[in-house]
Structure 1
Amino acid sequence: MEINPPVAIVLLNESGRTTANQLQALFPDALIHGLAGRVKQADLTFQQTALHIQELFRAKTPIIGICASAILIRCLAPVLANKLAEPAVVAVADDGTNIVPLLGGHHGANDLAREIAAALNGHAAVTTASDVHYNIALDSPPEGLAIANSQHLKSFMSAVLSGETIKLVGHHDWIAHSNLPFSDAGQLNIEITTQSRTGNDRSLIFHPKTLSLGVGCERNTDPAEIIGLVKTVLDENNLSPLSIGCVSSIDVKSDELAVHSVAQYFGMTPRFFNAELLEKEAPRLKTPSDVVFAEVGCHGVSEGAALVAAGETGNLIVAKHKSKRATTAIALATDPLKSNNIGNAQGKLSVIGIGPGQDLWRTPEASHLIAEATDLVAYSLYLDLLGPSIAGKTRHDYGLGEEETRVRAALDLAAKGKNVALISSGDIGIYAMATLVFELIQHEKKSMWDRLDIQVTPGISALQAAAARAGAPLGHDFCTISLSDLLTPWDVIERRIEAAAAGDFVISFYNPVSLKRRTQLHAAKEILLRHRPDSTPVIIARNLGRETESVAFVSLIDLDPEQVDMLTLVMVGSSESQIAETNSGNKRWVFTPRGYAGKMKISTLKTGTQV
């Protein structure tokens, strides 16, 4: 069973941990949402149960709550509004013995409950009348079938439960094999067709997704033009938009906004084929074009794409239609189309920073993109830090020092239509992989890389993590400097240190030392001592956000570069940076004043208030 968006497994207590892990194994894309302070490890954590569950519900996220049914009912009662738009909500007992679909029964909850029950050897407490009496939920058709007039279901089913019979027009196994009371002389009607029909409370219309829509367009075509063309062609041929099972085109259009827009209009993502595959359909084209062949290498884009997607037994039922800058054609497949199994999607590369690695410091956007990805590319340690959240995904592990190899691999995988996550600790845009992605694209000019959907998402950097652990050392102007001279000459680095020292910036030193490089931090210390006091606080932060984390303060004069390793960030305060102490735990904090104290003093003098 495919559920989109991914299921949220809501865990409120460790007593349900075993069940949560079993559910995540059943639904590999699902994330475990754990209540902070009650759940030890989760993909996402939350503080307020009701608000978090309501937020998931509003986002139409299917929810599996490992808790009492009453908890979910009380949490969601304030946001219940539209029965036809609610996601699946299922309550599961801590031990997995009882599974109760609470909301969205005919939008996946009943099937979800049955699937969970089968996997956990539990009992699915399904209570909806059509499921109980007829072994079918007409408002929850399977993939590949859509109902046109769900608003009439209630009155239709009332008539069935009152004893009226149904005449079936057309065929679909899911409906035909149910226990519905069919009769050739039925008073009610169920019709299965690709044609547009207007149903009513006596007649339900179902549309099989057997129409394959091929599209083509000139570069930068207005999306409204291609959408308008497709709608006109559907209307002229009396075809239902609900029967469209795939929207496809040639791969050189995989980055074309108009193509993505028309697919999105019909609720799907476009699929793409190369010219060689499209050209194999030349004998079946109704309007082959030598001009198109000269341009892209096949004799027809929209007709060819429609036919390839429909398969060998499909037929072209609407030949190419043209607008000023776009074309479309429609083929009919013998079976419902599964768009995600056809051709290739536009390749996606998510360039992701995961912060120090711990779940609490990973952004929801990063977790979401990782959950969506099919392939993960990273230094092995970074993938290990993600734990069970990447179960079922293809790992591409690389060692240290293989940065360019990693990025090339990620770009090439995405160019094959994969959804790829290139992952780095910290913020991937700070001394990390993001810049190399764009350098390679810019310098190598590979068309297959140019067509990728690229998204960069930030992570908590070592700079931010160290500052948070230490207090507020970045309260005023600051900068970062990498002491690695592998890619930047030392004389350039030295000039930057001198300038930052003279400018009295708080300085975060990345890559302060390595096994072979031990002198640079010594040199930096000497430069800084010429510009700021010996007592300037220095923060030495190692393995931030991990079990072996350590954060220590020393004065600049006492900084010993030989005690620093390659997993350490060194942050040197400005001449204004200070150390404060709090009584709780005798805690010391470093902060850099921004000038608020002076401002408050001026305000006090103006008002005459004594402090």
Structure 2
Amino acid sequence: MTPTPASLPARGLIWGLGFSHGSAPMLERLSQAGLIDARLGPTDKPLPREALVTHWQSAHAFVVVGACGLVTRLIAPLLTGKDSDPAVVVVDPQGRFAVPLLGGHGAGADQLSHRIAASLGGQAVLTGASAAAGRLSLDSFGRGWGWRRGAGDWQELMLAAGREGDQSLQVEARHGSPRWLGLDAAAHLQAGANSAVAKPAMFVDIHTGSGCRWHPPSLWLGLGCERDTSLGLLERLVDQTLAGQQLAPQAVAGLASIDRKADEPALLELAARRHWPMRWFDAASLAAVVVPTPSAAVAKEMGTASVAEAAAQLAAGPGARLLLTKQIAHAQGTERGAATLAVALAEGQWAPQRGQLHLVGSGPGSLDLLTGDARQTLSAATVWVGYGLYLDLLEPLRRPDQLRWDGQLTEERTRCALALELACQGLNVALVSSGDSGIYAMAGLALELWLAQPADGRPSFAVHPGISALQLAAARAGAPLMHDFCTISLSDRLTPWAVIERRLQAAAAGDFVVALYNPRSLGRDWQLARARELLLAGRPASTPVVLARQLGREAEAVSLHTLGELPVEQVDMLTLVLVGNSSSYAKDGRLVTPRGYPGAELS
């Protein structure tokens, strides 16, 4: 099963249920796409009706293949309240529509419906007022930004949002990433304190208080303690300190300490109970951090003058500052030991363990050639990062609640660094490349940057393949890749030309079918002619060549030529050049490379 996006609240399994024999194929598709964890059809034991009753309280969601009326009657006796009921999504047997019947906001049915529709190539039918108006669902959107929901009358907030119509709602974004304010779906919101309007309807803040509050993961707690300190002492120190500063526990991103305490039972139990990740730092890293209250005694014992203050700042990421200097607690009653606690505030928010970085291959450009896996990943992402042209091609799939960030063509490292930074903030990020992200694209650079992060400070990382230009060019041309082939980029921006020449010579000597990427640009207008010269050394001038330009787009053009008469001047950076081997031939406008060489016996 694919990881549950941060936009969906953590709970139990997602059950796929079918009440007719015709539901089986759709349940199989949903299972293969990782959209359900378990499935039951009309003849399975237990029966779907029984499973619905048995798992109602523990399930994360039910995806039911069938009629909305049937499902409504089945779940009606089970309903207890919007804060406790699971999500229910109804899908028709053909996969044309995904309907969030129950728990659209709080339980994540809307987001699940989007993922299902994206994977099946169908449509999510959302009937809520916010979705219909293209506006943020204020009571649920924050999960996609890695936030936790706090106190407040959220039902009244949603009713107020419906009453406001086109009038702006006042919100205060005091902490966390401010990028969400740039969403199309947030255009109706008025951010910032303004005495001329009513009191803010919603806050994004690290503090407790009145009103509806989202709490971004901006606080990191640094902890130090004596060996075998009691769990009760640590809990008392944390709870009293947060309450005394009016800091929301939901705004805590995690705990941090020195690696020598990585086996401390109370620290580990505290982290497990509060569902806070732990980060560990060695003494040398901690000693390099300037702190306000260093301790000579701690330096003698631990090799660093600070544990709590230094660890909190390191864990909180770039630009963090110490919000609260170390507080000391000693054992009371039956407690054992002593502990120190410091609180650091991230520059915006910093929660790598909550984040997801997805490398998405968008294919050649046509939405018809986008894989179901890529569609589902894009649907689940909070932010899309990519070169503007590639994002333009995907724009019909982007919702108003998804942020788009455009980068420049040659600024690959900048795009990768930004995507990784956003993922480290706790967001679900799609870093988009054309074709396949693992072929001359962003996956390698992104992975290198990801690997450079500490192992306990990384977001999750996944690569989602797409149809490459090589594959589509071959499909358009006929069947040129029936034997061994290779790809070579003629761009010497990152690879010395001498190395490229050696590869071309090796390809010619090995009689490979060759796909030439980045063949010719205004600043590199001679390399393709030189490549043709080197390939001619190993195969005849009559060798067929395909020029495939703007593949998968409106201006697509595919033409057949020979290596000896290749029209170099017609080639640009939007063209892929596909050169056959010595056995390839063209006939009736098609290019084919036989599966075996002349004289070979084929079974």
CA distance 1:89–1:531, shift in 2 (3 Å):
same
1:447-596 aligned at under 5 Å gives the runs: 451-453=457-459, 455-457=461-463, 458-579=465-586, 588-594=590-596
- Secondary structure class of the residue paired with 2:405: strand
Contact 1:471/1:591, CA 8 A, preserved across alignment? no
Say whether the 8 Å CA contact 1:573–1:592 is kept in structure 2.
Answer: no
Indicate the SS of the match to 2:416: helix
Aligned to 2:438: 429
Q: Residue 289 of structure 1 contacts residue 300 of structure 1 at CA under 8 Å; is this kept in 2? A: no
TM-score for both structures, normalised by structure 1: 0.52
Q: Give me the whole-angstrom Cα distance separating, in 2, the residues matched to 1:51 and 1:258.
A: 46
Task: Report the aligned-residue RMSD.
Answer: 6.3
TM-superposition CA deviations, 1:280-324 (whole Å, max 9, x none)? 9999xxxx956688638444799999xxxxx99xx999979xxxx
Q: Hey, what does 2:180 align to over in structure 1?
A: none
383, 404, 409: which one pairs with 2:418?
A: 409
One-letter amino acid of the counterpart of residue 386, structure 1: L
Partner of 1:108: 86
- In the alignment, the residues of structure 2 paired with residue 292 and residue 395 of structure 1 have an alpha-carbon distance, to the nearest angstrom, of 49
Does 1:399 pair with 2:420? no
Q: Deviations over 1:330-353 (max 9, x none)?
A: 99xxxxxxxxx9863446544433
* Contact 2:385-2:406 at 8 Å conserved across structures: yes
Distance 1:462 1:345 in 2: 33
Partner of 1:52: 29
State the Cα distance separating 1:508 from its structure 2 match: 0.6
Distance 1:415 1:567, change over 3 A: same
Partner of 2:304: 295
Letter in 2 for 1:376: W
Q: 1:423 to 1:264 in 2, by over 3 A?
A: farther
Contact 1:538-1:559 at 8 Å conserved across structures: yes
Partners of 1:543 and 1:263 lie apart in 2 by 56
Partners of 1:404 and 1:558 in 2: how far apart? 38
Which secondary structure does the structure 2 equivalent of 1:514 belong to?
Answer: coil
In 2, the alpha carbon distance for the partners of 1:144 and 1:520 equals 60
Partners of 2:514 and 2:583 in 1: CA distance:
13
Q: Tell me, which stretches of 5 or more residues in structure 1 are unaligned?
A: 8-45, 63-69, 123-141, 146-171, 175-211, 219-225, 238-243, 306-310, 321-326, 332-340, 582-586, 602-611
Residues 375 and 88 (structure 1), Cα distance of their counterparts in 2 relative to 1, 3 Å cut: closer
**Residues 386 and 406, structure 2, Cα contact 8 Å, conserved in 1:** yes
Contact 1:543 1:549 in 2 (8 A): yes
The alpha carbon displacement at 1:82 in A equals 4.1
Q: Tell me which residue corresponds to 2:362.
A: 354
Helix, strand or coil at the partner of 2:304: helix
Measure, in 2, the Cα distance between the counterparts of 1:461 and 1:588.
20
Q: Per the alignment, in what secondary structure is the counterpart of residue 459 of structure 1? A: coil
SS in 2 for 1:397: strand
Q: How does 1:295-444 map to 2 (within 5 A)?
A: 295=304, 297-299=306-308, 344-346=351-353, 348-387=356-395, 388-389=397-398, 391-414=400-423, 416=425, 418-437=427-446
Equivalent residue letter for 1:394: L
Q: Report the residue type matching 2:485 in the other structure.
A: F
The residue number in structure 1 matching 2:144 is: none
Contact 2:364 2:551 in 1 (8 A): yes
User: How far has the Cα of 1:514 moved from its partner?
Assistant: 0.8
Q: 1:545, 1:365 → 2: CA distance?
A: 18
Q: 1:530 to 1:304 in 2, by over 3 A?
A: closer
Distance in 2 (alpha carbons) for counterparts of 1:558 and 1:378: 37
Distance 1:559 1:302, change over 3 A: closer
Q: Residue 386 of structure 1 aligns to a residue in which SS?
A: helix
Q: CA deviation at 1:566?
A: 1.1
Distance in 2 (alpha carbons) for counterparts of 1:270 and 1:89? 29
Deviation at 1:380, TM superposition (A): 1.0
Find the aligned partners of 1:56 and 1:541 in 2 and give their Cα distance: 32
Offset of 1:571 from its aligned partner? Answer: 0.8
Q: Which runs of 5+ in 2 are unaligned?
A: 9-22, 88-101, 111-126, 134-147, 155-218, 236-248, 315-322, 333-337, 343-347
User: One-letter code of the match for 1:385?
Assistant: L
Structure index of larger Rg:
1
- More contact order relative to length (CA 8 Å, sep ≥ 6): 2
Alpha-carbon deviation of 1:562? 1.5
3-state secondary structure, aligned to 1:112: coil
